[in-house]
Amino acid sequence: MATQILRKSKTLIQKNQLFLLGSVVNKSTFSPPTFQSGVNPFVKCHHVSLLVNNPASLFSFSRFESTKAEAQLNLQNYVSEDEDNNQGIDFPGGKVAFTSEMRFISDSDHKRVPCYRVLDDNGEIMKFSNYVEVNKEMAVKMYSNMVTLQTMDIIFYEVQRQGRISFYLTSAGEEAVNIASAAALAFDDIILPQYREPGVLLWRGFTLQQFADQCFGNTSDFGRGRQMPIHYGSNKHNYFTVSSPIATQLPQAVGAAYSLKMEGKSACAVTYCGDGSTSEGDFHAALNFAAVMEAPVIFICRNNGWAISTPVEEQFRSDGVVVKGQAYGIKSIRVDGNDALAVYSAVHTAREMAIREKRPVLIEALTYRVGHHSTSDDSTKYRPNDEIEYWKMARNPVNKFKRWVERNGWWSDKDEIEVRSSVRKQLLEAIKLAEKEQKPPLEDMFNDVYDQLPSNLKEQERQLRETISKHPKDYPSDVPL
């Protein structure tokens, strides 16, 4: 059966067409990246392969209708030609074939899952690349936002070092994951971030003034100063508030996605995490939850090499993160996180897949955290400077995308000077205003949760005010009592 399907797929390729998600697409105008099958553990991910190269994927356009057929196809992949295919057991979840061979599943493949990319290190389109095309308007906006995010990180980091805000955390080296993924989504898609995705919120229209207000925790901050700096959130922009505990947003995203599915919305939930999050129980619970409930959610893991001071080789023994999705029955792909076009194409295709097929998708973006984990960290204590410099200069995602945009004639040195100068001026003005604005009053520490303040919170507020009256010099003078 699989041989017949493969023969038909080759015929489709010869006719210069392929069937994608239930519709005919001309491969000369659109060729999406291949996702590793969430069911067949023998399917490989090739960065220039079409979906029709994977016979199993032909059965997965509509998951509700295709699960049985896909399982039957994969059953054949497990059984060798000399085995009796009729020997098996109808176990709950699908038929399982018997074999006379005692064989343990390998702990890992000998070859690592390839990484999908579109642009080479010089910012040129790789030969035979299949990707979602980006027009001039989109490309210029993407690059401008990457520059804005880069500038924002530099200035806010300096502001923290001057003691004007208490904390900051940069996205240096991960600008492409931020901006390109955001550009590939629709505004109705719900975002549940970790803490290194301010670029997604920037793309959605969060202003530089709003970023500054949050970092300074003034009365214009949506969180009213209750959160640490960089813990952004906005109902208007469908962006859940950042939460410090690692991976808690992942199962929440599945619940949000399932809600969208039940309501019949043409949207998905998108959640981000780092490689360190995959060691948390919430990560595994979320993937299993999403697969079983067939929730339209995209998991984007920024595998940036380091979970604070823990390198990936000490984080997991498996081939990165992409194979973990397959273990839970989730279609997955590994993508070059420093290639904006590859990230855009993968997320764009994953979104269509999640919504049309009502299924989760896992994307592992290989990138690098160029900056320190946060302003509370000194990464030179646990990693060499030459490693940092290599990724900062030779593998810089902003520079790579800039070269591609310039090669298309869409960007000039004049544009570069104007944008960087304008962003810096706007940001310095926003910081000036945010710093001058009044802090929220003391009572805001206790309100906005209960309709009527419970007795335990009333007692806490009383004790706090009593302590302040005894030690007034130890309390910040710019916070109204």
Cα 228 from Cα 158, distance rounded (Å) = 17
Per DSSP (E only), the strands in 256-360 are 269-274, 297-303, 306-307, 310-311, 331-336
Please confirm, yes or no, whether 374 is among the known catalytic residues. yes
For the chain, the farthest-separated pair of C-alpha atoms sits apart, in whole angstroms, at: 86
Distance CA 170, CA 267 (A): 29
pTM as predicted: 0.84
Hey, where are the domains in the chain? 2-97, 136-434, 443-474
Q: Which of 65, 158, 387, 429 is catalytic?
A: 158
Residue 341 neighbours by CB under 8 Å, 6+ apart: 118, 119, 125, 131, 134, 180, 401, 404
476 half-sphere exposure, CB direction, 13 A CA radius: 8
In the numeric block, the tokens 């916070």 are attached to 479
- Give catalytic status of residue 197 as yes or no: no
pLDDT at position 10 is 38
- pLDDT on residue 378: 97
244 classed as catalytic: yes
Structure tokens belonging to residue 385:
């400077």
Cα angle 274, 196, 276 (rounded to 5 degrees) comes to 20
* 203, 184 Cβ separation under 8 angstroms: no
Q: What is the pLDDT of residue 12?
A: 36
Catalytic residue among 60, 144, 171, 374: 374
C-alpha dist (Å) from residue 361 to 1, 23, 36, 110, 375: 27, 20, 10, 24, 33
Single out the catalytic residue among 181, 332, 373, 379.
373
373 catalytic? Reply is: yes
Residue 383, Cβ neighbours under 10 Å: how many? 14
| Burial of 116 per CB tally in 10 Å (0-12, 13-18, 19+) | buried
- Measured at the CA of 180, the angle between CA 168 and CA 46, to 5 degrees, comes to 120
CB 244 within 8 A of CB 228: yes
* Paired sense of beta strands 297-303 and 361-366, if any: parallel
pLDDT at residue 99, as a whole number: 85
Query: What architecture does CATH give domain 136-434?
Result: 3-Layer(aba) Sandwich (3.40)
- Check residue 82 and give its pLDDT: 47
Of 80, 108, 244, 309, catalytic: 244
Block mean pLDDT (10 aa), the chain, length 481: 40 34 34 61 34 35 43 48 65 85 82 95 94 98 98 98 97 98 98 98 98 98 95 98 96 98 98 97 98 98 97 93 96 98 98 98 98 97 97 97 98 98 98 97 92 96 96 91 90
